[in-house]
Structure 1
Amino acid sequence: MGPGWAIGAWFVPVADLWLPYRVAVDMWGACSPLPTEGELRRVPVWPVNLWWDLFAGTTLLGRYAAMRFDTADSPAGIDDAVTLYLAVDLLYAAAAGAAAVFAVRLAALERLKATEGPYWAPAGA
């Protein structure tokens, strides 16, 4: 994908549920050092997965909370929807923290690849 997709992927209806994740995984892979011959070392992708799982799950839960709030016909229903909104806000804060972890680790991978080259250093070096 071209560089415009890093921003544009967020605005494509329906595809915004997976295109930004694909862009993030592609950036992660591009910044990860390549394994040397005979080694299978890969950088774990958990920071990308953690951020995206929290973000996408929270977005879907937020839509569900909005639907519950709109269809609430009693004070108890409204109370349940507001409780869901509280959970959504807390999960968005967790997703923001996970995004920060992802960004810091991605920058570290970029810095490592820029200073040490495209391959992992040999084990004894």
Structure 2
Amino acid sequence: MSGTSDLRPRPLLPSGVPRSSRGLLVAASALLAVVALSDLFAVFVGARIHTLIDGDQGFATAPQEKLDAAYSLYQTTGNVQVTLYLPCAIVFVAWFFRMRRNTGLLAPDRFSKGPGWAIAGWLIPLVHFWMPYRVAVDMWGAATPLPSDGEPYRASIWPVNVWWALFVSSTLFERYAGSRYDNAEGLAEVRAAVTQYMAADLLEIAAAVAAVYFAIRLTAMQRLKATEGPYGTAVHKPVAST
């Protein structure tokens, strides 16, 4: 008789696994792109303020009216960033929760927390710096196909690590820069705070790009595992006939 070398019984995926919403993924990606564009414009406006304040010469080379206009535009840009960030966060968390529910059906044993933490983890102070990352790591592992040749289970999570490191760094640095900007008194302090704000905006742009990549990759992995099974596309080796 003929057969295959992979004689392990393959568990069936649960029936009726819901597909992750393409609408949520597209909306989250689009809003992240818009947020990134607003950050890029903020960097441009910050650079203008930086050049207007010419070191120690200050108002000697920067007319008061130009500085006032630049400050006003910078404040307006900041308000726009906050306005755009809120719907982006809501849609992204909605997608995050949907993916937690879907990947939980694929591999419930990969999760130590219930699906509600995919929302609550973002809302609890201090916890929000760690819990969403743990949920993301569990989702990534649940969506990763199991090895079909007896090798140890490994899930490369570098997209999760890069996204979360950039997100936390940009969040903390933006808070620090905002504090410095609000407390700035002289032109030199304003210039330094604006420079820090520009760095925070650049980090946020990088975090938005990493978030889009993470979301697209995880969604693709979840769909692939749901359609092809927990072991993915296995390569079978024939054994000798008897």
TM exceeding 0.5: yes
| TM-score after normalising by structure 1 | 0.90
Structure 2 residue identity aligned to 1:60: L
5 Å-filtered alignment, 1:57-68, equals: 57-68=169-180
User: In the aligned structure 1, how far is the partner of 2:131 from the partner of 2:186?
Assistant: 39
Structure 2 residue identity aligned to 1:11: L
- 2:160 aligned partner: 48
Offset from partner CA, 1:84-112 (integer Å, 9 cap, x none): 11111121111111000001110111111
Larger CA deviation: 39-48 vs 80-89: 39-48
Any unmatched runs of 5+ in structure 2? 1-112, 238-242
- 1:21 aligned partner: 133
RMSD: 1.7
Structure 2 residue identity aligned to 1:93: I
User: In the aligned structure 2, how far is the partner of 1:24 from the partner of 1:66?
Assistant: 28
Matched length = 125
Structure 1 residue 60 displacement after superposition: 1.0
Percent identity of equivalent pairs? 56
Structure 1 residue 41 displacement after superposition: 5.5
Of structures 1 and 2, the larger Rg is shown by 2
Any unmatched runs of 5+ in structure 1? none
Larger CA deviation: 39-48 vs 9-18: 39-48
Structure 1 residue 123 displacement after superposition: 4.2
Offset from partner CA, 1:11-45 (integer Å, 9 cap, x none): 10111111111111111111111122421353310
- 1:11 aligned partner: 123
Structure 2 residue identity aligned to 1:104: I
User: In the aligned structure 1, how far is the partner of 2:153 from the partner of 2:115?
Assistant: 27
Mapped pair 1:89 → 2:196: no
